[in-house]
Amino acid sequence: MTSPAPSPSRGAPAPGLGRPIVDARGLWKRYGPLAVLKGVDLSVAERELVFIIGPSGSGKSTLLRCLNRLEEPDDGSIHVDGIELLSPRTDINAARRRIGMVFQSFNLYPHMTARQNVMLALRKVLRQDRAQAEAVAARALERVGLAERMDHFPAQLSGGQQQRVAIARAIALEPRVMLFDEPTSALDPELVGGVLNVMRELRQDGMTMVVVSHEMAFARAAADRVVFMADGEKLEEGPPAQIFGEPRHERTRAFIRQIDRH
Amino acid sequence: MGGFENFLFSFFNLKVMATYLPLIAQGLGLTIVLALLIVVSGLALGLGLAMLRACGIRPLNWLIIFTVDLFRALPPLVIIVLLFFGLPAMGLGMSSFAATWLSLTLVLMAFAEEIYWAGITAVPKGQWEAARSTGLGFFQTLRLVVLPQALRITIPPLTNRTIAITKGTALGSVVGVAEILGASQSAMSFSANPSPLTLGAIAYLVLFIPVVALGRWVETRFAWKR
Ligand SMILES: Nc1ncnc2c1ncn2[C@@H]1O[C@H](COP(=O)(O)OP(=O)(O)OP(=O)(O)O)[C@@H](O)[C@H]1O
Ligand SMILES: [Mg+2]
């Protein structure tokens, strides 16, 4: 493992974790007159699992999507694994293969089988030959418990299985960090567990993860740090015990009370 | 002669039909060549324009939309006549065959572009985002992820439009292309009997029924479970 680097002043990762993999500073994003991100900092250490919570419209998805430049911030800087993401000289496609993303709506390619979904970027981005890509895809699908379903099309899979294929598609590229945007929100309750189990295993394998989700029990059990966002700002952050147990801000307290009631 | 016999003599005169069968068969051949050229170039150009439009370059898109609307608004016969009689006035002579081919190609291109474009925009944004997030480039995503889904839903309207426009090859008869209708009309005036028109109609059926069937087959082949 790499030696821990001095952590930045704001948005610092929890102590005892590796060097920062994601380091975003002063992110601004506006849609017309509406400022959705107002100078947000976020630093994520190697192997850290950061949970982002907050009310609807607070900018959680926007923040996450800035981290692989699906959304272009108006101001600020983002480093991922040492790459300056917002620099015009950066090859964004090369950078993105180090940043896996999982979406609320799975977004599997419906015209391809599970295995083909995973293989596409292996073949076209990593330029692996067919045999190698097939083997890598098979291993990734095994990791998410879908070895038996490799040749199924997305429509032949349950929502939970589809989301696990989407996770396999991302991890097959061996990203340095995984971004999850409400990965279980579109799932029937009985299918949530399977996806969370896969995420738990990823974490045990040392994957760096940023997760936007309302799964508070999972956050309590698995997160290193919880970030609470409101109105485009990071209102507070800390270990789950602190954020859920003794939040400093009234808004955080109100939000957690409201979520826990459900 | 009774009315029915009269009808048979006029439209199913076997002697006349036998005499002019070779001429109309030639017309059929010419129609096939013309139609194939139009289908290939029209669909390819339409796809090219739709892909260009997907790049989202504003002034270019205005130009594409203007061109497409122009060729969708003008009656195909007007375009054929303009190209055949108008261009030579500007010193750009063109054979009747070429004028017909180019006109219908432009019309098919225009309609096909709109259909492809509708297909491309019907593919959810999440498909682009998923593909781009794995490091695929814009054109890779378009070609490997978006177009296969877009093309599948475009096949029924595209097939209908393609058939409608290739039937427009008959318009070539106006400027003297000896395709099916042109050949039938010549045969009709030589023989002073409309039976060749019956042959012509049969020739169109022989040509287009398989095309319709092919469209159906492609439609089922491109289907995947949703
Ligand atoms: N493309 C866009 N154009 C205009 N406004 C947008 C756009 N995308 C997001 N917004 C606005 O930005 C704000 C933040 O959106 P964002 O999706 O980041 O919120 P969120 O915290 O993820 O909310 P949710 O919990 O509902 O997913 C919202 O008010 C939203 O309406
Ligand atoms: Mg969101």
- What does the pLDDT look like over A23-37, one tens digit per residue? 999 999 999 999 999
* Residue pair A96/A126 in contact by the 8 Å Cβ criterion: no
Q: Could you tell me the pLDDT band of residue A113, with boundaries at 50, 70 and 90?
A: very high
Average pLDDT over residues A125-131: 96
User: Which residues of chain B does A121 touch, with a Cβ-Cβ cutoff of 8 Å?
Assistant: 131, 134-136
SS3 A10: coil
Strand-pair partners of A52: A212, A227
User: Which residues of chain A does B140 touch, with a Cβ-Cβ cutoff of 8 Å?
Assistant: 124
CB proximity list for A135: less than 8 A, separation 6 or greater: none
Name the residue of A61, A72, A216 to mutate for ligand 1: max ligand atoms within 8 A of Cβ: A61
B177 φ, ψ to 5°? Answer: -80, 130
Interface test with A, best of B127, B129, B134, B151 (most A CBs within 10 A): B134
Domains, chain B, with CATH or none: 18-221 (1.10.3720.10)
Question: DSSP letters along B185-197, please?
Answer: HHHHHHHT-SHHH
pLDDT score at B160: 82
User: Which residues of chain A does B135 touch, with a Cβ-Cβ cutoff of 8 Å?
Assistant: 93-97, 121, 125, 173
A241 φ, ψ to 5°? Answer: -60, -40
Atom of ligand 1 nearest to the CA of A232: 14
- The CA distance from B162 to B207, in Å, is 13
Please tell me the distance between residue A62's alpha carbon and the centre of ligand 1 in angstroms: 6
What's the pLDDT tens digit per position in A153-183? 999 999 999 999 999 999 999 999 999 999 9
- The CA distance from B166 to B212, in Å, is 12
pLDDT score at B71: 96
Q: Which two tokens stand for residue B74?
A: 């003008």
Give, using CA atoms, the residue closest to atom 12 of ligand 1: A36
pLDDT score at B223: 62
Q: CB distance A124–B144 less than 8 Å? A: yes
Q: A3 pLDDT exceeds 80?
A: no
- The CA distance from A117 to A96, in Å, is 17
Pocket of ligand 1 (CB under 6 A): A 31, 36, 54, 56-62
Interface test with B, best of A64, A85, A111 (most B CBs within 10 A): A111
Contact of B132 with chain A, judged by CB distance below 8 Å, is answered with yes
What's the pLDDT tens digit per position in A243-262? 999 999 999 999 988 887 65
Q: B112 pLDDT exceeds 70?
A: yes
What's the pLDDT tens digit per position in B150-196? 998 898 888 888 888 888 999 988 888 888 999 999 998 998 899 99
Q: Would the CA dihedral through B64, B68, B70, B71 be positive or negative?
A: positive
Average pLDDT over residues B117-144: 97
Q: Which two tokens stand for residue A175?
A: 């990203």
Contact of A108 with chain B, judged by CB distance below 8 Å, is answered with yes
User: Which residues of chain A does B122 touch, with a Cβ-Cβ cutoff of 8 Å?
Assistant: none
Q: B6 pLDDT exceeds 60?
A: yes
Cα angle vertex B169, ends B198, B46, to 5°? Answer: 145
Q: How far is CA B18 from CA B13, B27, B191, B194, B207, in A?
A: 9, 15, 12, 13, 19
**Considering chain A, what is the average pLDDT of its residues?**
91
Q: Is A54 exposed, middle or buried (0-12, 13-18, 19+ CB in 10 A)?
A: buried
Please tell me the distance between residue B196's alpha carbon and the centre of ligand 2 in angstroms: 68
Average pLDDT over residues A85-100: 94
Strand-pair partners of B149: none
**Nearest residue in A to B146, CA atom:** A109
Largest CA distance in chain B: 79
How many CB pairs below 8 Å do chains A and B form together?
73
Please tell me the distance between residue B134's alpha carbon and the centre of ligand 1 in angstroms: 23
Q: Could you tell me the pLDDT band of residue B224, with boundaries at 50, 70 and 90?
A: low
Q: What ipTM was reported for this prediction?
A: 0.90
Give, using CA atoms, the residue closest to atom 17 of ligand 1: A61
Give, using CA atoms, the residue closest to atom 28 of ligand 1: A57
Least confident stretch, A25-34, A114-123, B90-99, B169-178? B90-99
Give the CA-trace dihedral at A61, A63, A66, A68, to 10 degrees. Answer: -70
Please tell me the distance between residue A240's alpha carbon and the centre of ligand 2 in angstroms: 21
Question: DSSP letters along chain B, please?
Answer: --HHHHHHHHH--HHHHHHHHHHHHHHHHHHHHHHHHHHHHHHHHHHHHHHHHHT--HHHHHHHHHHHHHHHHS-HHHHHHIIIIIHHHTT----HHHHHHHHHHHHHHHHHHHHHHHHHHHS-HHHHHHHHHTT--HHHHIIIIIHHHHHHHHHHHHHHHHHHHHHGGGGGGGGT--SHHHHHHHHHHHHT-SHHHHHHHHHHHHHHHHHHHHHHHHHHHT----
Interface test with B, best of A81, A120, A122 (most B CBs within 10 A): A120
> How many residues belong to chain B?
226
- The CA distance from B226 to B223, in Å, is 9
Strand-pair partners of A84: A79
Give, using CA atoms, the residue closest to atom 9 of ligand 1: A62
Q: CB distance B135–A173 less than 8 Å? A: yes
Q: CB distance B130–A166 less than 8 Å? A: yes
The alpha carbon of residue B6 is apart from the nearest alpha carbon of chain A, in Å, by 58
Q: A205 pLDDT exceeds 60?
A: yes
**Nearest residue in B to A154, CA atom:** B226
What's the pLDDT tens digit per position in A65-78? 999 999 999 999 99
Largest CA distance in chain A: 56
Q: B1 pLDDT exceeds 80?
A: no
Contact of B135 with chain A, judged by CB distance below 8 Å, is answered with yes
* Residue pair B80/B168 in contact by the 8 Å Cβ criterion: no
SS3 A82: coil
Q: CB distance A121–B136 less than 8 Å? A: yes
Provide the whole-model pTM.
0.87
Q: CB distance B226–A110 less than 8 Å? A: yes
Average pLDDT over residues B48-69: 96
pLDDT score at B153: 86
Q: A233 pLDDT exceeds 60?
A: yes
